[in-house]
Amino acid sequence: MIEFATLLERLAFTPSRNMKLALLKEYFSMAPDPDRGYALAAMAGSLSFAAAKPAMLRALAMERIDPELFAWSYDYVGDLAETVALIWRPETGDHVTPAAPGLAEVVHTLERLPKANVPDVVREWLDACDASSRYALLKLITGSLRVGASARLAKTALAELASVAPDDIEEVWHGLEAPYGPLFAWVEGKGPKPDAKDTPVFRPPMLAQPLENVDLTTFDPAEWRAEWKWDGIRVQLVSTPQGERVYTRTAEDIGKAFPDVLATMQDLGSRVVLDGELLVVQDGVVAPFADLQQRLNRKSPTASMLRDMPAGIRLYDILFEDGEDLRSLPFDTRRQRLESWFARLMPPRMALSELIAFQNFDHLAKLRENARSEGIEGLMLKKADSPYVPGRPRGPWWKWKREPLTVDAVVMYAQRGHGKRSSFYSDYTFGLWRTVDGERELVPIGKAYSGFTDEELKFLDKWIRDHTTKRFGPVREVAHGLVLEIAFDAAQYSKRHKSGVALRFPRVSRIRRDKPVEDADTLDEFIRAFL
């Protein structure tokens, strides 16, 4: 655990990506098996301990620490693992303190230990560890490292050790389990590359660059294909003899939340990998993203969700068919293969993403602006001869999103962020005016935690601290004195929100220091304009 704790500490205090890579490579090359495998799993978010929840850790801490003091400390620090690690008071007395556990010991114990025994064991571990090791232990248990090292970065470090592309690691990743013995053997040249054949593994997706500051007059319309950019989530559908998977573009397996899609794939009887957009589709009409979000927030859907919010797929591309890798083929060829596959099988819950006919890019721009709906975010432009290349290459694919909508809203509440932002009030709740019984009041309509620069964050944080009126744990209520211009992609009615509306991708567009609070927008104006 000491080596893992040292790694986390160094990663947390190292801003440079290249230095983080060097630290990870050093750890993976020096740490023993299976510790390094479990460390990799922790960084990739692949470890989960059902019996070890944050509530249990809070309860353990408050056995040793005054609850009010713990609440104040947690509020100030902003991170549960860090708070408990720093404030924990080891038990003193005549009893013998056990040795600090190793990384593999922690994983194996928590995987096998009955739930009722977990608090006692974790308590002993916390007593046996110093502050640094306690922090690493708690981060491991909670599964939220937040040390500036993503799963992709950890896989990149492995790839550099093996002198292969990170995407080569991704292509075998989902066919393996922690502690990844075959993967490390391959990386170190002690074994063959793990065989992903007929395994439902994830393939890194091809992503588009935003079409900003790009001169479309240099493009030949004949060389490009256009299709709608649907407002769902990008997914990869994998069907093999060893099973089916529904992956997000970040390789998260969400199949359990969408058994209706999995059932469709099981009925295909086809070895295929498809690229598409996951939506809620009712009677052929794409429902607002809010409906899809309800299903995404559930590990398993209810019967009513399956009935009222049926999942559907808009198919963009085909990557594999019957074991043949199609990714090197031009887009037009892959599109023909996709159309042929679809016509042959006619899979339910699936539809081809429409290719849009256009004469020129001015014509396409008009189609883009006239297509504002809950199901369409804008357009995708794809070069006709482009292969399917993992990552986000500049040139072959572009995303041409609609201009965002904006509203002037008043800051009402603020909360500290996480990680590097844990000492800043960086999460803001904002609201609009409404009139109730002749009195104007603010009603919250959303939250934003992006869209501002570091300098603007410093200004906002100071303003929050200077204008706090009430405190509710980590939340600060502030005087109604600051207007933010909030950009968002769409709006919809919502029964879950006090205001009755919800925003899609809200972010801070600018700080309206020039605008009096009284002149911020009203809820009625918002509804008339956007709903």
In this prediction the pTM is 0.75
Nearest to 518 by CA among 405, 407, 406, 408: 408
Q: Phi/psi of residue 19, each to 5°?
A: -70, -40
Q: For the chain, percent helix, then strand, then coil, each to nearest 5?
A: 40, 25, 35
Question: Do 209-401 and 405-530 share a fold?
Answer: no
pLDDT average per 10 residues of sequence, the chain (531 residues)? 90 88 94 93 85 86 89 81 89 67 92 89 91 91 81 90 86 87 91 82 92 87 95 93 90 91 86 95 86 85 92 96 93 98 94 93 88 78 95 92 91 85 89 91 94 93 95 88 92 84 91 94 92 81
* Residue 353: C-alpha distances to residues 93, 317, 366, 398, 443 (Å): 69, 9, 19, 16, 39
Q: Counting Cβ atoms within 10 Å, is residue 530 exposed (0-12), middle (13-18) or buried (19+)? A: middle
pLDDT (0 to 100) of residue 18: 92
CATH, domain range 405-530: 2.40.50.140
Please tell me the distance from the alpha carbon of residue 382 to that of residue 148, in angstroms, as a whole number.
Answer: 33
Report how far apart, in Å, the C-alpha atoms of 330 and of each of 64, 353, 360, 391, 397 are: 64, 17, 22, 17, 12
Residue 476 pairs with which residues in a beta bridge?
414, 471
* Rg (the chain; Cα; Å): 26
pLDDT in the model for residue 283: 86
For residue 344, the SS3 value is helix
pLDDT for position 347: 93
Indicate the fold that domain 209-401 takes in CATH: D-amino Acid Aminotransferase; Chain A, domain 1 (3.30.470)
Query: How would DSSP label each residue in 370-438?
Result: TT-BTTEEEEEEEETT----SB--SSSEEEEEPPPEEEEEEEEEEEE-SGGGTTSEEEEEEEEEEEETT
Half-sphere exposure at residue 389, Cβ-oriented, CA atoms within 13 angstroms: 15
**20 CB contacts (<8 Å, ≥6 apart)?**
11, 14, 148, 149, 153
Q: Where are the domains of the chain?
A: 209-401, 405-530
d(CA 248, CA 270): 20
Q: Are 483 and 408 in contact (CB under 8 A)?
A: yes
Q: What pLDDT sits at residue 100?
A: 82
